[in-house]
Amino acid sequence: MKRYGIRITLPEGDPMRAPHLLGEGWEQYRWYDSAEARDRAYEQMQNPPPYYRRGDVLSQVLEKVEG
């Protein structure tokens, strides 16, 4: 069965990449059963969470993957 995912990393220079925090190689995957479900989640992840303050910037790099 083919899986459809989203790879989440941090951009270069992000303070959370510091060794005592998440580190340079931090990444996370979210997997979905269909490309359509993955694409919907990808679009939703482009928007900042509702609890962010006005002016806060979402600091993540999203990449669609298949596995």
Domain of residue 24 covers 4-49+58-66
Strand duo 61-66 + 4-9: pairing:
antiparallel
Query: What pTM value is reported for the model?
Result: 0.84
How high is the pLDDT of residue 57? Answer: 78
Helices (H), the chain: 35-45
Higher confidence at residue 1 or residue 36?
36
**What are the tens digits of pLDDT across the range 11-60?**
999 999 999 999 999 999 999 999 999 999 999 999 877 887 888 777 89
Q: How many domains does the chain have?
A: 1
Amino acid at site 57 = V
| Band (5; pLDDT cuts 50, 70, 90) | very high
